[in-house]
Amino acid sequence: MKISYLLQVINNHVPFSTAESWDNVGLIIGDENAKITSILTGLDCTEAVVDEAIELGANTIICHHPLIFKGLKQINEQDGYGAIIRKIIQNNINLIVMHTNLDVYPKGVNAMLAEKIGLQNMRILNPEIINYYKVQVFIPEANSVDFKRELSKRGLAQEGDYEYCFFQTQGTGQFKPVNGANPYLGKVNEIESVAEMKLEFMISEHQQQLAIDLINQYHPYETPVYDVIHLTREANYGLGMIGQLSQSYNVADFMQHVKQHLNIPSVRYTGDEQAQIKTVAIIGGSGIGFEYLAANKGADLFITGDIKHHDALDAKIAGINLLDINHYSEYVMKEGLQSLLTNWLNEQQQYLEVNVSQINTDPFTYY
């Protein structure tokens, strides 16, 4: 199987386009035409993980955190990251990153963490909002067929696997050209009635300018009449999970429960020590900023990592309970991704060995 095929399979389930704009996902290092020997999943692509892949004979590493993220200035043996990149290239290894696209995937990192903790009735904490537009254009009946064809050719008025999605109603348009008008129909200073169509169709956010350009280009009138109406809908993906535990826990018991189920050495809690915890929201990695949304949605506790002193204090003053499970707890994605990849490939009657990195890449030691 080629890397390009694997990228396609991944993209069908966890589109790279759903990553944040500041992120760096996809094939970061490698060759789309390379043939995959086997895969190694990891959280961070450290040098030890690259060595592990070489040892296993796995020429494809799929990591959560982008190896190349900030402005990279040199790729040399003396630079820590440079040395890793050189080793990857020298050993013909392909590095794929699935980062924020895996975070917002409904079965992604947050669902993996939530499942380990035992959340039930899980819902997405912060569903993405998709912007789209409805366009309505008023055009003489005689021109409507050509007009629809031109718009359709350029990819407008498409819904999933359906092209040419227009709704049309017949009506009568009226106008009186005055002053220096150069009308396509009718005479200056006379009211003209024309059999017109009102065409309605949907476009995505990035097609807005194209739609206006095409209307101006293919509408016969000097001044085309049209409306572009902004609409939104909730996507079926987004950040975080919220759900219920099978029972209510006191704080001390829940801390033990989390440490045990995530197999992590320590957690930090801030909030009401007498709280009863049943509804829990979670964002793996660095999810601070969403604790107020979690509380508004009824969470007794918001779990994330990388919580800073002032964020913790703000939450405490606001009466919000926070639990810091350390950023490294996202390591659960290594196994989670192994099972996702195996399932996606099996659905396509494809089989590849997918290994899970055994390297602990947590930069911290806990005492």
Give the shortest CB-217-to-Zn ion separation in angstroms. 46
Size of the site for Zn ion (CB under 5 A): 2
Residue 261 to residue 339: CA distance in whole angstroms: 18
**Judged by CB under 5 A, does residue 287 bind Zn ion?**
no
Give the shortest CB-97-to-Zn ion separation in angstroms. 11
Give the shortest CB-65-to-Zn ion separation in angstroms. 6
Count the Cβ atoms, other than its own, within 10 Å of residue 71.
5
Residue among 196 and 330 whose Cβ is closer to Zn ion: 330
In contact, 139 and 223? CB cutoff 8 Å: no
Instruction: Say which residues have a Cβ less than 8 Å from residue 353's Cβ, sequence separation at least 6.
Output: 38, 39, 58
Tokens found for residue 305? 């990592």
In contact, 243 and 119? CB cutoff 8 Å: yes
Q: Which of 42, 173, 238, 285 binds Zn ion (CB under 5 A)?
A: 285
Nearest to 254 by CA among 299, 209, 296, 289: 299
Residue among 177 and 285 whose Cβ is closer to Zn ion: 285
Residue among 14 and 135 whose Cβ is closer to Zn ion: 14
Residue among 116 and 198 whose Cβ is closer to Zn ion: 116
Q: Nearest residue to Zn ion, using CB? A: 285
**Judged by CB under 5 A, does residue 240 bind Zn ion?**
no
Site string for Zn ion, 190-219 (x = CB under 5 A): ------------------------------
Nearest to 102 by CA among 117, 93, 113: 113
Give the shortest CB-64-to-Zn ion separation in angstroms. 6
- Please give the full DSSP string across 310-348, using - where no structure is assigned: HHHHHHHHHT--EEE--GGGGGGHHHHHHHHHHHHHHHT
362 marked as binding residue: no
330 marked as binding residue: yes
SS3 232: strand
**Judged by CB under 5 A, does residue 173 bind Zn ion?**
no
Options 16-24, 76-84, 158-166, 285-293: segment touching Zn ion (CB under 5 A): 285-293
200 marked as binding residue: no
Tokens found for residue 289? 């900023």
Residue among 20 and 192 whose Cβ is closer to Zn ion: 20
Residues from 314 through 353 that contact Zn ion (CB under 5 A): 330
Instruction: Say which residues have a Cβ less than 8 Å from residue 107's Cβ, sequence separation at least 6.
Output: 340
Residue among 64 and 219 whose Cβ is closer to Zn ion: 64
Instruction: Say which residues have a Cβ less than 8 Å from residue 4's Cβ, sequence separation at least 6.
Output: 32, 33
115 marked as binding residue: no
47 marked as binding residue: no
SS3 40: strand
Binding site for Zn ion (CB under 5 A): 285, 330
- Known binding-site residue numbers for a divalent metal cation: 64-65, 103, 327, 330
- Known binding-site residue numbers: 64-65, 103, 327, 330
